[in-house]
Structure 1
Amino acid sequence: MPLTPEQIKQAATELTARRNSGQPGPRLPESCRPLDLEDAWQVQQAVTRGLGQAVGGWKASPPSPGKLVMAPIYQPAISRAAVCTVAFPADRDPGSVKVEPELAFVLAKDLPAREQPYTEAKIDAAVGSVHAALEICASRYADHSGLPFPEMLADGLVNNGLWLGPELTAPEAASFELNWQAGDQPAQKAQAQHPNGHPRAPLYWLANFLRERGLGLQAGQAVITGSYAGVLTVPAGQAVTFDYAGLARFEVEFRRGI
């Protein structure tokens, strides 16, 4: 049975409180756990209403069986600062931060809700710039390993913010060599590969998903479309240099706050 409006409110109230306090918790009470994607979407939207924060961006990936990969990124959790202080839930390793290397498509024009689907060309025309970016990851569950996907979706799929880096110096690519280094530690390297092959494919899907739901995308919002190298663990409190070979190079320091 679908969750009732009261059960959706109960789940969202708990997840909202965890975001506000910075304290993760156990699984939601069984009485209000979302069991399917629609319930999870409704809880996610109720969290947005409960927080009362502007949506500054979205994370997205085209859907697959049993999965709907999309979540809002709240404006207060988006930073461009060279020293980025982010509120993290307490965890076992306060000296590190988990990030995902991504590209962010920043809109220059609105793509509002409407009946007619948006073409790829129309969506492309709304993109104002493309940036190197790092998704900041943390969950409102004390242990999210093995949780059913709807419970993860309700909580925003471990999104805890976004660091928006420099604009790309060349058109976005489906793959590139990724290098990163923290302080005097040895440099690390990976062959970065977009999970969908086409970094704009999730943006095209998201624009029409939100259009159908009466929401739309707004100018100024940043859309990230999937990690090129999974989750990276980088130290907090020291500068980390990233090189998206041929696309962008930048340095950022994450500081953990409350």
Structure 2
Amino acid sequence: MPLAPEQRAQAAIELIARRTTGKPGPRLHESCRPVDLEDGWWIQQEVTRRLGLSVAGWKASPPSPGKLVAAPIYQPALSRAAACAVPFPAGSGTVVVEPELAFVLAKDLPPRQQPYTGVEVDAAIGSVHAALEICASRYTDHSSLPFPELLADGIVNNGLWLGPELGAPDVATFQLTWQIAGETTQTAEARHPNGDPRTPLYWLANFLRERGIGLLAGQAVITGSYAGVLKLPLGKRTQFDYAGLARFEVEFRGA
């Protein structure tokens, strides 16, 4: 049976407490643990409602069996600073990031009855940027959790670092290079998991539309990691090169 509103609220209150204190915890109590994707989605939405923070963007990926990837990125967790403070988790000495592209909207895509076409969504995009998703979970160990529990917590999202605008059209593959200060340059064959980095954005616009939620001008949408996860040390500059599409450097610091 789906969770009752008071059970969703109980779960949201616990997840918010973990966000606020920066202290992850075990699985949610059985009394408020989501058992399906709808439960996970509605707990996530209750977290957003109770936090009262503006949504600066979304992470998205088209659904697959047992998975629904749609999660808000809150305004305080979006940074463009060359020195980016990471408040959670404390004491780890590293930050986990995923190299992505971010589509920043110039026009609203409000809820409506008629589905959005790819052409309409493309027309709403103002710019495309190199980006790093900042990852952390509110669970002590999220690696084996059922997906509804991950969805409730925003699918391991802890923020977004928004880098420079691309100097060429977005692509599905490129050679990614990064170098941590004082260390050897590393490379990876960067490849978008869906083949086309815009496909998840097209899906998200209509998923949210069906649920009475719009995408807003200024919001940034990330659509999947090109190179899995990277662990970067706090307090050291890392230079990135998206094969000439964008070059940047960033240093993550503990808050």
**SS at the partner of 1:208?**
helix
CA–CA distance in 2 between the matches of 1:156 and 1:104? 17
Structure 2: any 5+ residue segments left out of the alignment? Answer: none
Is the aligned partner of 1:184 residue 2:191?
no
For residue 94 of structure 2, the aligned residue among 93, 96, 110 is: 96
Aligned 8 A contact 2:178 2:238 in 1: yes
Aligned 8 A contact 1:24 1:90 in 2: no
Aligned 8 A contact 1:83 1:255 in 2: yes
Is the aligned partner of 1:221 residue 2:243?
no
- Partner of 1:230 in structure 2? 228
CA deviation map 1:127-177 (0-9, x unaligned):
000000000000000111100110001000000000000000000010000
Structure 1: any 5+ residue segments left out of the alignment? Answer: none
**TM-score computed with the length of structure 2 as normaliser:** 0.99
CA–CA distance in 2 between the matches of 1:135 and 1:2? 31
The 5 A counterparts of 1:42-121 are 42-90=42-90, 94-121=92-119
Tell me which stretches of 4 or more aligned residues in structure 1 moved more than 4 Å.
none
- Partner of 1:193 in structure 2? 191
Is the aligned partner of 1:203 residue 2:170?
no
- Partner of 1:127 in structure 2? 125
- Partner of 2:140 in structure 1? 142
Is the aligned partner of 1:32 residue 2:32?
yes
CA–CA distance in 1 between the matches of 2:175 and 2:107? 31
Aligned 8 A contact 2:90 2:254 in 1: no
Deviation at 1:256, TM superposition (A): 1.3
CA deviation map 1:91-120 (0-9, x unaligned):
6xx221100000000000000000010010
CA deviation map 1:231-251 (0-9, x unaligned):
000111011000000210000
**SS at the partner of 1:88?**
coil
Aligned 8 A contact 2:96 2:134 in 1: yes
Aligned 8 A contact 2:85 2:252 in 1: yes
CA–CA distance in 1 between the matches of 2:161 and 2:10? 31
Tell me the amino acid that sits aligned with residue 179 of structure 2: Q
Residues 79-88 or 194-203, more deviating? 79-88
The CA RMSD over aligned residues, in Å, is 0.7
CA–CA distance in 1 between the matches of 2:233 and 2:21? 23
Tell me the amino acid that sits aligned with residue 9 of structure 1: A
Deviation at 1:50, TM superposition (A): 1.1
Aligned 8 A contact 1:177 1:244 in 2: yes
**SS at the partner of 1:116?**
coil
CA–CA distance in 1 between the matches of 2:254 and 2:44? 25
Same amino acid, percent of matched pairs: 74
**Residue correspondences, number:** 255
Deviation at 1:90, TM superposition (A): 3.4
**SS at the partner of 2:115?**
coil
CA deviation map 1:207-246 (0-9, x unaligned):
0000010011000000000000000001110110000002
CA–CA distance in 1 between the matches of 2:252 and 2:107? 31
CA–CA distance in 2 between the matches of 1:89 and 1:133? 20
Aligned 8 A contact 1:57 1:222 in 2: yes
CA–CA distance in 2 between the matches of 1:197 and 1:179? 20
CA–CA distance in 2 between the matches of 1:163 and 1:97? 12
CA–CA distance in 2 between the matches of 1:110 and 1:86? 29
- Partner of 2:18 in structure 1? 18
- Partner of 2:5 in structure 1? 5
